[in-house]
Amino acid sequence: MNSLELVESFSEFKELKSIDRTTMQHVLEDVFRAMLKKKFNTDEHIDVIVNIDKGDVQIFVNKEIVADGEVEDQNTEIAYSDAVKIEPDFEIGEEVTEEFTFGDFGRRNILSLRQNLISRIMELEKDNLYKVYKERIGEIVTGEVYQVWKKEIMVLDDEGNELLLPKSEQIPSDYFKKGEAVRAVVAKVDMRNSSPVIILSRTAPEFLERLFELEVPEVFDGLITIKRIVREPGERAKVAVESYDDRIDPVGACVGMKGSRIHGIVRELKNENIDVINYTNNNQLFIQRALSPAKITSVEINEEDKRAKVFLKPDQVSLAIGRGGHNIKLAGKLTGYELDVYRDGEVDIDDVDLEEFADEIDSWIIDELKAVGCDSAKSVLELGIEDLVKRTDLEQVTIEEVFRILRAEFDN
């Protein structure tokens, strides 16, 4: 392999991997110098000229002219009789510059040189990839599914770089096949065994925020600010938005005409229910908005404990809690308060407060039922066993026993 072939091959590699020209030139020069230093024990008398554009490397060895018979180091000195063969006007003490050819290296050294170049460029590429994606954390990337495993999938970006989307960062209903396009946000970048590992996420709040920026021009332009986002990936999300321009309705702009803007986001998130609400510094009002679509009668806030009592009409309780308890859980995260739901309105004289069953039902079970808005016997029975299993952390066997106790009250 000659110098032209060697440098051309790495010039192509540079183009593919986007390593900048100056860095590539320094790498080539360093690797050649290291090889020459090994051969001559020094590189002080050697000039290495790298021309990336032409794919060429020239090596010049400078030797001092000494009198015949006084050459001590053939690598750095040349006899006068040999020097005048090159140029008759040379004199002792001057320097002779000779071009060093790749043929003088030997085949084994050239192969070693190539290996060193590959190694150095691979290191550079890893460092470059790490830096590029470190700066892209929080950005959306689009790639192609290359490999599907049980715990993660491998995605290739436009330049063929490998990105990982773990199962834990996928929406529960996500299903990908090889060759499919996938969008996700860059969650983090780690170095493992000197190689960058780029982790993507479709469950992070930042993914939803970037999708809003793509679909809603006012968000992208900064006219509407997303203040907070909370998600139960694939189930429900709540987004608090604010506009600094009184002429812009932030909720209306995010949802779009007949839901045109929000629909694209919902489809991307596998039909995740998205509530867009107006942000406010008024905590009572913010809690009311956060529990949408339920209509709140009143709110009592305890700032010390960061808890809030929310009073609703009986027919609004299930709306406030939501399927699987997602609505009230997300409202709590969005507002920063622990929300306790209470039924408001007329009292059913035939109903019985749950506290009346304290001698038969453990207090922690009663507290768990109250947390989902069930403060009376009938309110528990109206929800049903299946709903309570979803909304609470109680075992089905426990709920069935509670139902047995409460039904006995009304059967007597």
- Helix, strand, coil shares of the chain, percent, nearest 5, are 45, 25, 30
| Domain coverage including residue 405 | 354-411
pTM (predicted TM-score): 0.67
Structure tokens at 250: 């932030």
Total domain count, the chain: 3
What are the residue ranges of helices labelled H in 102-155? 107-134
Helix (H, G, I), strand (E, B) or coil at 96: strand
Q: Which residues lie across from 183 on neighbouring strands?
A: 142
Least confident of 188-202, 243-257, 264-278, 342-356: 342-356
Of 103, 132, 161, the residue at which a domain comes to its end is 132
- The predicted pLDDT at position 15 comes to 52
pLDDT band for position 68 (50/70/90)? confident
**Cα gap 290→304, rounded to integer Å:** 21
174 within some domain: yes
Return the CATH number at 175. Answer: 2.40.50.140
pLDDT band for position 67 (50/70/90)? confident
- Looking at the structure, do residues 30 and 80 belong to the same domain, yes or no? yes
The pLDDT > 90 percentage for the chain reads 40
- Looking at the structure, do residues 13 and 125 belong to the same domain, yes or no? yes
319 within some domain: no
- Looking at the structure, do residues 89 and 148 belong to the same domain, yes or no? no
Cα 126 from chain centre: 18
pLDDT band for position 79 (50/70/90)? confident
Helix (H, G, I), strand (E, B) or coil at 102: helix
Q: Is the pLDDT of residue 347 over 50?
A: no
68 within some domain: yes
**Cα gap 211→219, rounded to integer Å:** 10
- Looking at the structure, do residues 149 and 31 belong to the same domain, yes or no? no
- The predicted pLDDT at position 407 comes to 86
- Looking at the structure, do residues 189 and 73 belong to the same domain, yes or no? no
